Structure 1
Amino acid sequence: MDDSARRRPHTRRTAAFGAVVAALALAAPTAHAGTTTSGGLDRYHQQRLDWGSCASGPDDSTGRDLDKAGVRCADVTVPLDYAAPEGRTLTVAISRLKATDRRHRVGALLINPGGPGGTALDMPPDIREAMKETGARYDLIGMDPRFVGRSTPLDCGWPVSTAVLSAGAGRAGFERQVALQKRLADKCRATHSDVLPHVSTRNTARDMDVIRGALGERKLSYLGYSYGTYLGTVYTQMFPGRYDRVVLDGALDTPRYQPRLLRGAEPENQRALADWAAWAARRHATYGLGRSRDQVLATVDRIVAKSARGLTLRSGSDVFRVDDSHVPFLLVEGIADDTDAARAALGETVSVLADAAGKPARPSKHLAELLRYATTGVDSASGSAQTAILCGDVAAPRDPERYWRDIQRSRTRHPLFGPLTNNVTPCAFWDRPRERPTRVRHDARALIVAATGDPRAPYEGSVALRHRLPGSKLLTLKGANRHGIYGEYGNTCVDSKVNAYLATGRLPAKDETCAR
């Protein structure tokens, strides 16, 4: 599973292109910024953007809300293949909430919510609110990365989500996963073989630089969450000197980024689940899951064991069949936020699953949304782009036995989460990436924000990235099991320190800590 579930309904190379791509990646700033580009990219950097309504039609409530908030939208033209910029093109959808304090304007700040495959078109109003008075000094830019959201689409027509499945309890369940993931990969390759080689984080970073040029900016500021921290780090490495203020929230250390994003995070997820269990035990009268943490965890274990035989949940005309390949995801989705509201939602979910272990049960609205995402093709387009990015970034192991060994080793200590975090994915059957993964070769003065109990991007990853970028500083929120903090968690200390950096451009003199 990837890190994108933080924004689900409550709900992240065998050879390089060669010298020509290296030249493109290090091309000079654009003509809009007073210089020229090379490699045939001038027409992209110098394009005029046609800003207009964000509403795509009368039923587009999100677009109408953006229009009311003063946001305008445009499509940016980018090359499908940066090694052949004269060839086929794509559109990347962006939104802009212009600075109102033009006298003290800093520049443009581009936002990425993670995923990979997260859409940011609707985020500028919320980010401006989080930035308080500092927000008026920025043009806030939401971007739907290539093949995501309103950009040129990619939909493999998958009947289920790929990123949320566990291998289950035994070898038979794993073999079913291998067959399913291979079938999904083959289906996507059959319909999109022409574009899949160009779906990658490095190409999204190149698109970001085209956006920078089309906006007429010499430098681009950036706010990225989760997978968005990896994208932001890649941008700083491919385009050193073209960024200004960078905030990376819930950071991934670059060498550990790979298709199984949660691999290695089993201890953090187990601790977060135990913390939730203690919370639920104090509310046994509400959820009936047990009067102690251990009793609640035992109830969870019984649910997982019974789900191996299948659970039935009905919501109106929808009938959901859930098994032990789905239940671990439903738990992981609920423990990346330790607010009372999120914990209550997970308490309700687990209570319904406990009921379903004996008879068909009715899910809550929240759980029904999760089940539609996990067990149907309703989110096929988002899942397709997400998987294609992961598979296009880093080569995955090809031998299914490698995954089985990883699962079995992890299962001894983490029987619930190990079969999910180590499960086989379509990347095992994908074509090899076109480029090698990005390596950190340049320092970057970024502000890294991290919670010590983050179950999606373990805190140690943020610490490692802090040392990999010596010019950066680390802002730690102690004692929170939360993924995504700034502007989302309501921690005044974190929000004020990030806003101070965005206002002044000055990093703290040393790493700093906030309390939950």
Structure 2
Amino acid sequence: MRERTIAVAVAVGTALTVGISATGPASAGVASRAGTDGTARFYRQPISWHGCRSGPDDETGGALDAAGTRCATVTVPLDYGRPDGRTITVAISRIKATDPGRRRGALLINPGGPGAVGLDQVLLKGMMPAVAERYDLIGMDPRFVGRSTPIRCQWTTDSFTRSAGPNRRTFDESAALMKTLAAGCAQGDRDLLPHASTRNTARDMDVIRAALGEPRLSYLGYSYGTYLGAVYLQMFGARADRVVLDSAADPDVYGPNLISRNAPALAAALKHWAGWAAGHDSKYGLGDTTAAVLSTVERIDRAAARRPLRVGAYRVDAHLVPYLLFVRLYDDSAAAYAGLAAETRALAGAARGASVVPPPSLEKLLTGLFTGAGEAEDRAGTPIVCADRAASRDPATYFRDIQAHRASEPLFGPMTRNITPCAFWPTTPAEPATEIRNHVPALIVGADGDPVTPYPGQRAMHRALAGSRMITLTGAFRHGAYLAAGNACVNAAVDRYLVDGALPGTDIACDTSGGTGE
């Protein structure tokens, strides 16, 4: 299981060869041998920029072109251990610095995932004008994602994340689905799978840096992008400039079991939303106290365990109810909470046996889950997760873990601890997972109530990057702080670091009003 992309509106309609380097252990030989190990031609390649729109129906490309973006592809080795072998392409985008006389360099932005496209991240220019003055903003579709050479997983769903449900029978159903999904990724592109790792994406980033003519690369990464940024720091720290990691993943847990520890944070976020919903009971009818709203959610979950709920054209069972809540808890804004309340009202009606028409947002989410017609980050991202760290291949280990935590994590534990396609993956990781331990400067940002990358994991990233400072958005139950939260304190501190280069003298806190906490 994995994180999902942080939603930051960008005006598009909606918004390893192992060796030792100067930056620490478990770093790739490429970091110290670039240009002498057969990779020189990639580092020295020219970039041919062109328009971004690929056709009349390409809304993203049209928005990029309208903003003055130029796009290109960079050629990289499929396997950096065999640089004379097969090559693939990585799609990139660029908006040049608006103040060329004070230009500092290039800032590559990754939105998370894994599996999320990144070309459109340059459209954040309008939300970060001071930064856009000083940097060329660079977007990237990571290898095998979006417009980069794709891996085509044959799925009829856009996400593998499911709850194991209430018992061994329902767990076995989810395990069977994971096995089917793993086989779907092996049908056409099996030879690509071992090379989908974050370590190889970090290598691609360094090729992009060199091809751009930049001696050093600045970076802004959200969610999964924090792990990618940390791997780049470990492998190529001497070539990193100013690095911001927002909503950091725990570097020692990242992999197929990434969200296995998320249930307590998700329960806390759900409780926070329930308090909001209780205050709007006259509109949504979910209960007039926090406890009453949570009881409504429990009734929905129990009803789905007895028999699938009829929600429009779809049947929602116990595998899906926790997931439908999970994906709506990324944002604690009033608009997001209202959307979740409307969807929960529809589910509550279905649990009572009423005929319900789902809100358009829920209809779209269910259509993606049942047909694969959604954004499909998981289809692109699962090969990355499975290439990064090996997973247990014994289904019984997952069921035992779920049972051991079922009493304390009744709603979300069977989802966060459930088996994934990586347990049945047709290939094994080509390299060990990267050990993140270095002193390269970085700025870590996050909310202390983040339900997706919980705060203890953010703190673990802070400790692993011993040269980092941390900004905590306190009292916020959301995923994403810089720009995404609209918090003046956080935004000013990150802008100051990117523009002036000065890390805070100590870790700081920002409260949800936009001021500095005590």
1:30-56 superposed Cα distances (whole Å, 9 cap, x missing partner): xxxxxxx12111111111111111100
1:34 matched residue in structure 2: none
Pairing 1:371-390 to 2, within 5 Å after superposition? 371-379=366-374, 382-390=377-385
Distance 1:23 1:254 in 2: 17
Aligned to 2:31: 26
CA contact (8 A) 1:219 1:243 kept: yes
Letter aligned with residue 104 of structure 1: R
Whole-Å separation in 1 of the counterparts to 2:490 and 2:33 = 35
Distance 1:333 1:19, change over 3 A: closer
Residues 64-110 of structure 1: CA distance to partner in whole angstroms, max 9, x if unpaired?
Answer: 11111111110111111111111111111111000121111110000
Pairwise CA distance, 1:495: 0.2
Contact persistence 1:205–1:231 (CA under 8 A): yes
Residue 123 of structure 1: SS of its match in structure 2? Answer: helix
8 Å CA contact retained: 1:155, 1:381? no
Instruction: Give the match's secondary structure for 2:260.
Output: coil
Q: Is the 8 A contact 1:157 1:381 kept in 2?
A: no
1:371 is displaced (CA, Å) by 1.1
Query: What is residue 4 of structure 1 aligned with on the other side?
Result: 4
Tell me whether 1:404 sits opposite 2:399 in the alignment: yes
Residue 508 of structure 1: aligned partner: 504
Aligned-residue offset at 1:164: 2.1
Correspondent of 1:323 among 317, 324, 349: 317
Question: Which digits, 9 at most, give the CA deviation of each residue in 1:137-193, with x for residues without a partner?
Answer: 100001000011111111211112343211111111101111111122123223221
Aligned counterparts of 1:79 and 1:334: Cα–Cα separation in 2 = 38
In the TM superposition, 1:256-275 aligns within 5 A as: 256-275=253-272
Listed as ranges, the matches of 1:180-259 within 5 Å are 180-259=177-256
Q: Residue 348 of structure 1 aligns with which residue?
A: 342
Aligned amino acid, residue 30 of structure 2: A
Structure 2, gaps ≥5 residues long? 21-25, 513-518
Q: Secondary structure at the match of 2:120?
A: coil
Q: Which moved more, 1:468-477 or 1:213-222?
A: 468-477
Q: How far off is 1:23 after superposition?
A: 6.1
Taking only the aligned residue pairs, the percentage that are identical comes to 50
Q: Which residue of 1 aligns with 2:96?
A: 98
CA–CA distance in structure 2, aligned partners of residues 86 and 378 of structure 1: 37
CA distance in structure 2 between the partners assigned to 1:454 and 1:507 by the alignment: 23
- 1:440-478 CA distance string (max 9 Å, x none): 232120000011100011111122221222211000110
Asked whether the equivalents of residues 390 and 428 of structure 2 are also in contact (C-alpha less than 8 Å), the reply is: yes
Query: Residue deviations 1:224-244, cap 9 Å, x none?
Result: 001100000000001120010
TM-fit CA distance, 1:380? 7.9
Contact 1:23/1:39 (<8 A) preserved: no
Counterparts in 2 of 1:166 and 1:477: CA distance versus 1, 3 Å:
same
Cα distance change on mapping 1:10 and 1:132 into 2, 3 Å: closer
Change (3 A) 1:287 1:381: closer
Q: Judge which range, 357-366 or 504-513, deviates more.
A: 357-366
- SS class of match (1:408): helix
- Provide the secondary structure at the position in 2 that maps to 1:359: coil
Deviations 1:470-506 (A, max 9, x none): 2110001100001011111110000000000001111
Specify the alignment match of 1:465 in structure 2: 461
Tell me the alpha carbon deviations over residues 112-131 of structure 1, each in whole angstroms, 9 at most, x when there is no partner.
111111111111122x2232
Q: Give the whole-Å Cα distance in 1 for the aligned partners of 2:180 and 2:57.
A: 35
Instruction: Report deviation, 1:5.
Output: 5.3
The aligned counterpart of 2:480 is: 484
Equivalent-residue separation in structure 2 for 1:119 and 1:187 (angstroms): 21
Cα distance in 1 for residues equivalent to 2:406 and 2:437: 36
Distance in 1, matches of 2:54 and 2:168, equals: 47
**Unaligned residue ranges in structure 1 (runs of 5+):** 30-36
SS at match of 2:139: strand
2:515 is matched with: none
User: How far apart, in 2, do the equivalents of 1:141 and 1:192 lie?
Assistant: 28
* Residue 54 of structure 2: aligned partner: 56
Q: Which amino acid aligns with 1:68?
A: A
Residues of 2 paired with 1:495 and 1:278: CA distance? Answer: 27
381-390 or 65-74, which deviates more: 381-390
Residue 133 of structure 2 corresponds to residue 133 of structure 1: no
User: 2:473, 2:509 within 8 Å by CA — same for their partners in 1?
Assistant: yes
Cα distance in 2 for partners of 1:456, 1:10 equals 21
Please give the alpha-carbon distance, in whole angstroms, between the structure 2 residues aligned to 1:375 and 1:169: 21
- State the aligned residue count: 500
Alignment partner of 2:237: what SS? coil
TM-score by length of 2: 0.93
Counterpart CA distance in 1 for 2:467 and 2:185 is 41
Kindly provide the CA deviation profile for residues 190-248 of structure 1, in whole angstroms up to 9, marking residues without a partner as x.
32211101011000000001100110000000000011000000000011200100000
- The answer for the alignment partner of 1:277 in structure 2 is 274
Alignment check: 8 A CA contact 1:477 1:513 kept? yes
Q: Which moved more, 1:179-188 or 1:482-491?
A: 179-188
Question: In the alignment, does 2:421 pair up with 1:426?
Answer: yes
Partner of 2:188, secondary structure, is helix
Q: Given the alignment of the two structures, is residue 123 of structure 1 paired with residue 121 of structure 2, yes or no? A: yes
Inter-partner Cα distance in structure 2 for 1:441 and 1:342: 37
Decide whether aligned partners of structure 1 residues 283 and 72 sit closer, same or farther in structure 2, where only a CA change above 3 A counts: same
Instruction: Answer whether contact 2:119 2:139 (CA < 8 A) is retained.
Output: yes
Q: CA deviation at 1:24?
A: 3.9
Instruction: Quote the Cα distance in structure 1 between the aligned partners of 2:220 and 2:399.
Output: 37
SS of corresponding position for 1:403? helix
In 1, the alpha carbon distance for the partners of 2:5 and 2:465 equals 27
Q: CA RMSD in A?
A: 1.8
> The residue matched to 1:479 in structure 2 has which SS?
coil
Cα 1:422–1:23 change in 2 (3 A) is closer
Alpha-carbon spacing, 1:380–1:424, altered in 2? closer, same or farther (3 Å):
farther
* Superposed displacement of residue 18, structure 1: 5.5
State the secondary structure of the residue aligned to 2:509: strand
Letter in 2 for 1:275: H
